[in-house]
Amino acid sequence: MSFFARRVATLTGLSEDRLEHLAGGDLSEVLLVRRLDGRISVAKGSPAVGTEATMLRAIAGAGVPAPHVEGELAGVLMIEHVDNDRVFSPSAWRSLGAALRQLHDHLGEAYGWPVDYALGTVSLDNRQGQDWPAFWLDQRLKATAAVLDRPWRERIAAVGPRLAGILPAAPPPSLLHGDLWTGNILVSGGRLAALIDPACYHGHAEVDLAMLTLFDTPDAAFWQAYGSPPEGWPERQAAYQLFPALVHLRLFGGSYGNLVERLLGRIEA
């Protein structure tokens, strides 16, 4: 039993045979917890459980499905278990599109989030402000590239003027999931069941769309429910996909260098 599993067992008063490791926890340990009364919960390890709990509550507060937060203590986040059949049918994509539109219609007063956060070892500078292109360049792209080799840093810094012409100066500050890919989207019975593992902040809604289309291909039903991005989307898509590509380069190594190169090429063209 791992240290985290021992902590969960102590906090819940359950024996080891009631805990089961869940696949997919790339950035934190995740356990399935079978309670004595028949309920099933999920325990997730995180150094910022309170922040993640707040983000899940923010998503639910916008009327979008998210797991109910059962407790947060000593680096352990306890949430309800949500069934997931992993079948992304057209109806499931349509349900996601409608829910994401609802999430993005929930607006903040500034870009960013009240507290900083992290994706694994990649810190997220969430200082709030009113200049969206500056937020994206300084607090997402340059901040993430800061520990990379000098050629990467210089190229990221050099796209600043280009971003100013690509990105809108003051898009509505939508509530973003912040790490939206199908691994963080639970579906069941042809509908969205829950959004999990958020990295929320307020920003341009197309950030979530760009992340979703980086590794996945939403069905046409998704776009019918959400709405098509306005003119200039391909250029903005590359600018927004560059951030998760840099995060993957930081977290998972040089195999993502080609992806970063391709995206930079699209922005620099």
Q: Determine whether 179 is an active site residue.
A: yes
d(CA 257, CA 259): 5
Helix (H, G, I), strand (E, B) or coil at 91: helix
Rounded to 5°, angle at Cα 225 from 221 and 226:
115
What's the pTM?
0.95
Q: Domain extents for the chain? A: 3-80, 90-268
Q: Which of 179, 197, 208, 219 is catalytic?
A: 179
CATH label, 3-80, candidates 3.30.200, 1.20.144, 3.10.100, 1.10.8: 3.30.200
Residue-level pLDDT, tens digit, the chain, 269 residues: 688 999 999 989 999 889 998 875 556 789 999 999 989 999 999 889 999 999 999 999 999 999 999 999 889 999 999 999 999 999 999 999 999 999 999 999 999 999 999 999 999 999 999 999 999 999 999 999 999 999 999 999 999 999 999 999 999 999 999 999 999 999 999 999 999 999 999 999 999 999 999 999 999 999 999 999 999 999 999 999 999 999 999 999 999 999 999 999 999 97
Token readout for 104 is 């993005």
d(CA 72, CA 41): 13
Q: Please check whether the domain covering 90-268 is classified as CATH 3.40.50.1580.
A: no
Token readout for 248 is 């993957």
